[in-house]
Amino acid sequence: MATTVSLVAGGAGFLGSHLCESLLDAGNEVVCVDNFGSGRRTNISHLVDDHRFQSIEADIRDAVTLPPAEEVYHLASRASPADFTDFPVDIALTNTRGTRNLLDYAVATDARMVYASTSEVYGDPEVSPQPETYNGNVNIRGPRGCYDESKRFGETLTVAYRDEYDVDIRTARIFNTYGPRMRPDDGRVIPTFVSQALHDEDLTVYGDGSQTRSFCYVTDLVNGLRSLMETDGLAGEVINLGRENERTIHSLADMVIDMCDANSTVVYEKLPEDDPLQRRPDTRKAADLLSWQADTTLQSGLELTIESFRGDLFAE
Ligand code: NAD
Ligand code: UDP
């Protein structure tokens, strides 16, 4: 049987690098395309000697010529809210012009595609948990608009390409995912809390910490993405991928301090504008269509993450 070639846009990022690794483990050839904006070369340094792995430094906003592949995973986009302030145009164009370029590539090579959308398409949700049928509550002109609205348009574009060019494209709405290889200075809550606790610094809780999130461990998420790609008969589907276990940010801070055995306390800072007050995926569709659920508990996932951060932060 011929080897499957998978192209992973955003392959040097947090999720992308774990996905590249998983695809190589499955015997695929992997082409990683990344501009190393928020991704790191060290995320893929252990893969570059594998003859089945190719790294291409390119920006998907540009018209670049890429080698043919049977599968395209489109994960390229800065994803940290901290970047929404510093790189709004980059993000908006990556998710629109960049998505268009990858869709044209999928048409030209007759590839199947998985598009990484986000729970942010639900904005500050008025229903909980959020099912795929919910249309969301997004402030299109707010500080998160560059990301939320461009991901929403990215989804619209995938539907248009499906209808006009019959592209086999599946969309994952990814909920907060964490694990090793997130950058300690990424700005997202788990890498921030873990690196603060490991340095015995106070943990910065925004607002009163009563806002909720549901956290999924990276290996579960990667299995979900692969299942979405590899299951036949799902052309055009959109599926939430995440873990249903919802908790407050305050309780997360307490848990991280406890697990790191840190001499830290919590300090409160202003809640950023439009920070969603609640978030929890309805994962029944993923269970039905993919037979998938995220099994790793927050306790076990945090243990693995803390261990890895400890190694990275205090490596000699
Ligand atoms: P990340 O920042 O670690 O990875 C994104 C990667 O895309 C980086 O390597 C970056 O350099 C690359 N990239 C960005 N813009 C690019 C461009 N124009 N051209 C080429 N490469 C580009 O973030 P992540 O958490 O791994 O997120 C990966 C994808 O999953 C993103 O599309 C994100 O929106 C989506 N997502 C992630 C989460 C999460 O909790 N991690 C949640 C929802 C959605
Ligand atoms: N958060 C926090 N302190 C931090 C970073 C984030 O309290 O140092 C909060 C943030 O306000 C949000 C939640 O943690 O309510 C998750 O933030 P993150 O940036 O990880 O992702 P989001 O779900 O907001 O995209």
- The reply to whether 127 falls in a domain is yes
- The reply to whether 57 falls in a domain is yes
Ligand 1 pocket, residue 15 CB under 6 Å: yes
How many angstroms does the Cα of residue 282 sit away from the middle of ligand 2?
20
- The reply to whether 302 falls in a domain is no
Q: Which ligand is nearest to the CA of 79?
A: 1
Q: Which ligand is nearest to the CA of 89?
A: 1
Burial of residue 48 (number of CB atoms within 10 Å: 0-12, 13-18, 19+)? exposed
Burial of residue 186 (number of CB atoms within 10 Å: 0-12, 13-18, 19+)? buried
Report the chain's terminal Cα–Cα distance, integer Å.
45
- The reply to whether 20 falls in a domain is yes
Nearest one of 46, 35, 44 to 14, comparing CA atoms: 44
| Cβ neighbour number for residue 19 with a 10 Å cutoff | 28
| Tens place of pLDDT per residue across the chain (316 aa) | 789 999 999 999 999 999 999 999 999 999 999 999 999 999 999 999 999 999 999 999 999 999 999 999 999 999 999 999 999 999 999 999 999 999 999 999 999 999 999 999 999 999 999 999 999 999 999 999 999 999 999 999 999 999 999 999 999 999 999 999 999 999 999 999 999 999 999 999 999 999 999 999 999 999 999 999 999 999 999 999 999 999 999 999 999 999 999 999 999 999 999 999 999 999 999 999 999 999 999 999 999 999 999 998 887 5
Nearest one of 15, 5, 3 to 224, comparing CA atoms: 15
Q: Which domain holds residue 36?
A: 5-181+215-244+281-295
Residues 6+ apart with CB under 8 A from 164: none
Question: CATH number for the domain including 131?
Answer: 3.40.50.720
Residue 72 pairs with which residues in a beta bridge?
Answer: 7, 113
CB–CB of 180/308 below 8 Å? Answer: yes
Q: Which ligand is nearest to the CA of 58?
A: 1
How many angstroms does the Cα of residue 100 sit away from the middle of ligand 1?
16
Nearest one of 144, 56, 170 to 92, comparing CA atoms: 144
* Count of domains observed in the chain: 1
Best mutation site among 19, 21, 38 for ligand 1, i.e. most ligand atoms within 8 A of its Cβ?
38
For ligand 1, atom 44, the nearest C-alpha belongs to 118
pTM for this one? 0.98
SS3 assignment, position 308: helix
Q: What positions carry a catalytic annotation?
A: 147
Residue 32 pairs with which residues in a beta bridge?
Answer: 8, 55
Ligand 2 pocket, residue 249 CB under 6 Å: yes
Give the number of the atom of ligand 1 that is nearest the alpha carbon of residue 174.
43
Residue 281 pairs with which residues in a beta bridge?
Answer: 130
Give the number of the atom of ligand 2 that is nearest the alpha carbon of residue 209.
7
Give the number of the atom of ligand 2 that is nearest the alpha carbon of residue 196.
8
Nearest one of 238, 72, 76, 88 to 148, comparing CA atoms: 88
